[in-house]
Structures are given as structure tokens and as C-alpha cells.
Amino acid sequence: MKSVLEALKDTFNKTVSIRTAPGSLDHITVVTAEGNFALNQIGQISMKSPQLILVNMASFPECTAAAIKAIRESGMNLNPEMEGTLIRVPIPKVTREHREMLVKLAKQNTNKAKDSLRKVRSNAMNQLKKSKDKASEDTIRLIEKQISQMADDTVAELDRHLAVKTKELLG
């Protein structure tokens, strides 16, 4: 359950942020003939300025077009430009509309995290039911309550992080 929470924090820091960071493009998956790769595996990402990120595709020039397509379709409202093997990604000014879109993205990520949490909880409950012959019913009920309480606490923590992020994004 902790890992679900940490993954959400990591996602918020990397993708759902007003501030630009070179790591914000790392998660973008580029589909090539050889398979799927993270952008940072096939290109060198660097910041030229807060308004411009450069992706150097000199190592894999054949993947440049696929990388541009992946950046465009990332849902980050980016419009990359190609200069040989160099991809220039101008970062748009942060508008109210963009901030609201980031809040929607934060809510989607939080809902995905809650789904993952439900899976973790149900897996734990299933494992507990399998061990009925090894422990008393009282012990099993107590552990079920503890698992449910941990899941509820983690959901509350996820909601708290979403509220903080929403406040940060909307100002």
C-alpha cells in the first residue's frame, strides 16, 4: 500500500507539475519497430531554459519521428519541432486551462492509484482466506479489520495528496 502512495507522489512530481523538469519527459513511451522504449532510453534529455527542453536523438536517429509522435500524444500539451536529430520541445505558458487540465490528470492518477490499492487489498484478503485452517476465526477477523483500516488510511492519504496538488496547481 505504501508503494502505491509513493508511486502517486512520484507521478505528481514528474508529470503533474507546473514547473518544468527534464524528468517530466522520461515516462513517455516511444513505439519503435524494435519494441517500446522510454524516451530517456533512446534520447538524451536536457533543459536549455525553463521554456525549452532538448531531446538529442543522435544515438538512435531512426527513432526521431516516433519520439516526436510520442511527445505529441503524451497528453502534456506539447508541440515538438525537429532539427536533424535534435528535438526541440517548447514548453507552453501555463494558462488557467492548462492548470485545470493538470488537475484532471491528477484526479485520473489518483483514481488509478485507488484501483491499485483495491487490488492490493483484495489480494491480501484472498491470501488471508487461504490460511483459514492455520489460524482461528477471531484472528482472521482481526487481521481483515487491520487490512481494511490500512486501506482506508491509505485512501485518505491519497485524497490528501490530491487536495494539496489541486491547491498547488490552481493557486
> How is 10-52 classified by DSSP, letter by letter?
HHHHHTS-SS--GGGGTTPEEEETTEEEEHHHHSEEEEEETTE
| 125-141 confidence digits (pLDDT tens) | 898 888 877 888 888 88
pLDDT at 160: 94
Give percent of the chain above pLDDT 90.
30
| Distance (Å, whole) CA 130 – CA 134 | 9
pLDDT at 97: 83
**Buried b / exposed e across 64-81, counting CB within 10 Å, b at 16+?**
bebbbebbeebebebebe
| Distance (Å, whole) CA 53 – CA 21 | 8
| Distance (Å, whole) CA 73 – CA 65 | 12
Three cell numbers written together for 8: 502517486
22 pLDDT tier (thresholds 50, 70, 90):
low
Mean pLDDT value of segment 151-155: 93
| Distance (Å, whole) CA 162 – CA 109 | 9
Enumerate residues 6+ apart whose C-beta is below 8 A from 23: 14, 45
DSSP H or E run through 33: none
Set out the domains of the chain in order of their start, with CATH numbers.
22-90 (3.30.1360.40), 96-170 (1.10.132.20)
pLDDT at 19: 66
Q: Is the dihedral of CA 92, 98, 104, 106 positive or negative?
A: positive
Is pLDDT of 13 > 80? no
| 23-33 confidence digits (pLDDT tens) | 777 778 898 88
What phi, psi does 135 have (nearest 5°)? Answer: -135, 160
| 36-81 confidence digits (pLDDT tens) | 988 888 989 888 887 888 999 988 889 889 999 998 887 777 889 9
pLDDT at 119: 94
Give percent of the chain above pLDDT 70.
95
Is pLDDT of 20 > 70? no
